[in-house]
């Protein structure tokens, strides 16, 4: 089995403050449905800075979470709870649909 990562790229939001508030609630929903205890963070979040020329990066934020295998990711995403989390990710992404990628180490 090869470990894979689920990556979600959020475009620049129309209202960053609202996105940040919504994202906190989104993470709480993820924790609930994925059974992630408050004292654990098995995922990473990166907020992007402006490009070297000062222009805004095409994405505002990236979420990445590893899974033991592609099958484990598929099983997790097939649950009703994680379908709710996925729909919520789309709802809070006010700058356009989030880009969702799955990758494995090369």
List pLDDT tens digits, range 82-94. 999 999 999 999 9
Compute the Cα dihedral for 9, 31, 74, 67 and give only its sign. positive
- Across the chain, mean pLDDT equals 96
Phi-psi sector, 80: left (phi>0), alpha (psi -120 to 50), beta: alpha
Burial of 103 (0-12, 13-18, 19+ CB in 10 A): exposed
List pLDDT tens digits, range 13-49. 999 999 999 999 999 999 999 999 999 999 999 999 9
Residue in 106, 33, 104 with CA at minimum distance from that of residue 67: 104
Torsion of CA 76, 102, 62, 12, to 10 degrees: -110
Q: Residue 1 pLDDT more than 80?
A: no
Q: Residue 106 pLDDT more than 90?
A: no
For the chain, the structural domain boundaries read: 4-104
Distance of alpha carbon 75 from the chain centroid: 17
Q: Domain 4-104 is in which class? A: alpha beta
- The tokens for 9 are 């790229």
Pairwise CA distance, residues 12 & 49, whole Å:
11
Is pTM, for the whole model, over 0.85? yes
Q: Bridge-partner residues for 99, per DSSP? A: 9
């Amino acid at each position: 089995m090869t470990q894979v990562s689920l990556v979600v790229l959020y475009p620049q939001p129309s209202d960053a403050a609202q996105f940040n508030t919504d994202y906190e609630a989104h993470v709480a929903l993820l924790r609930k449905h994925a059974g992630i205890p408050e004292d654990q963070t098995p995922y990473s979040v990166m907020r992007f800075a402006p490009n070297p020329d000062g222009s805004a990066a095409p994405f505002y934020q990236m979420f990445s979470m590893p899974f033991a295998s592609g099958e484990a990711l598929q099983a997790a995403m097939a649950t009703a709870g994680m379908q709710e989390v996925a729909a919520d990710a789309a709802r809070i992404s006010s700058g356009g649909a989030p880009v969702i990628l799955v990758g494995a180490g090369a």
